[in-house]
């Protein structure tokens, strides 16, 4: 049975979170209002979102709080300290033992229908700073996987041997980007955009030598997740 004191504490915590969310929302609105050349649409585009995304966030509170990576990008764009758009919890310093293990997916051995369950097929992985992941992506680490790029279909953006992080919780291509798809017997990166008239998916490679597919239905494409980070050796 919940005590009165416990209930009051939870309510106070909710009010504090709501206050922080409102503060950040109002701060972003003020930054846009004070700009001579930026508006809701241009900042939405900066985040890779639809033109009304920021307006809906500021005026309707949806989403309740922007991703931390989006807020950091907005702060850098307006030339302010990133901490101004962070919650107190997000400002806390990284603990020395705050390391999270991200599994690596195999580059073969898939079969149709397995993409949502590929977590069980991991072969190795790497440790990442949990604070770093939360700072740049604000993602659930359980939804992240490493994949090694094979081939040159996405060159020069992604090169053979590159390591990428994919967010398996984001399989909705309504926001354009690079996604890891199930093609044949291996995960394959492709750029996906949505046709503005037909709403069909346009699947293409950054390497012009590879053909594009411009009339794909969402249920015809098996998306593993969105590519959110890439690393490569320079020398």
Report d(CA 210, CA 204) in Å as an integer. Answer: 8
Q: What's residue 65's pLDDT?
A: 81
Cα angle, residue 51 at apex, residues 219 and 59 outer, rounded to 5°:
110
**Residuewise pLDDT in 10s, the chain (235 residues):** 555 555 555 566 567 778 888 999 999 999 999 999 999 999 988 888 888 889 999 998 888 888 888 888 899 899 999 889 988 877 766 555 578 888 888 876 444 444 434 444 445 678 888 777 877 776 677 788 999 999 999 999 999 999 999 988 888 887 889 999 988 767 899 999 998 888 899 999 999 999 998 889 888 888 999 999 999 988 7
Contacts of 230 (CB under 8 A, 6+ apart): 158, 162, 163, 164, 165
Give the C-alpha separation, 234 to 185, whole Å. Answer: 29
Give pLDDT, residue 195.
87
Name all contacts of 13-22 with Cβ < 8 Å and 24+ positions apart: 17/87, 20/87, 20/88, 21/61, 21/64, 21/65, 21/87
pTM of the predicted model, to two decimals?
Answer: 0.59
What is residue 138's predicted lDDT score, i.e. its pLDDT? 63
Which residues lie across from 99 on neighbouring strands?
129
Q: Which domains are assigned to the chain?
A: 4-91 (1.10.260.40), 99-231 (2.10.109.10)
Residue entry with tokens 């394959």: 188
The chain-wide mean pLDDT, for the chain, equals: 82
pLDDT of the residue at 117: 43
Each residue of 15-50: pLDDT tens digit? 777 888 899 999 999 999 999 999 999 998 888 888
| One-character DSSP codes across 155-171 | TTTS-TT-EEEEETT--
| Tokens describing residue 63 | 């989403």
SS3 (DSSP) at 28: helix
Give whole-number Cα distances, 100 to 128, 180, 212, in Å: 5, 22, 37
If DSSP codes are grouped into helix, strand and coil, which group holds residue 8?
Answer: helix
Give residue 185's pLDDT: 67
- Is residue 76 a contact partner of residue 136, using CB atoms and an 8 Å limit? no
């Amino acid at each position: 049975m919940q005590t009165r004191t416990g209930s009051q504490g939870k309510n106070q915590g909710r009010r504090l979170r709501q206050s922080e969310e409102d503060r950040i929302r109002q701060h972003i609105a003020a930054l846009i209002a004070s700009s001579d050349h930026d508006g809701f649409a241009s900042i939405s585009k900066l985040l890779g979102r639809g033109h009304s995304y920021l307006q809906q966030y500021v005026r309707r509170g949806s989403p309740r709080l922007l991703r931390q990576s989006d807020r950091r990008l907005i702060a850098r764009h307006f030339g302010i300290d990133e901490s101004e758009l962070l919650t107190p919890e997000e400002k806390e310093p990284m603990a020395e033992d705050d390391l999270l293990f991200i599994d690596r997916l195999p580059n073969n051995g898939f079969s149709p229908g397995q993409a949502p369950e590929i977590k069980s097929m991991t072969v190795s992985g790497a440790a990442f700073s949990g604070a770093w992941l939360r700072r740049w992506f604000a993602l659930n680490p359980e939804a992240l996987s490493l994949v090694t790029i094979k081939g040159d279909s996405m060159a020069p953006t992604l090169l053979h041997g590159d390591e990428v992080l994919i967010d398996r919780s984001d399989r909705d291509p309504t926001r354009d980007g690079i996604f890891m798809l199930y093609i044949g017997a291996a995960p394959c990166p492709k750029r996906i955009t949505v046709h503005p008239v037909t709403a069909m998916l346009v699947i293409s490679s950054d390497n012009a030598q590879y053909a594009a597919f411009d009339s794909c239905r969402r249920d015809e494409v098996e998306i593993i997740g969105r590519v959110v980070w890439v690393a490569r050796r320079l020398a």
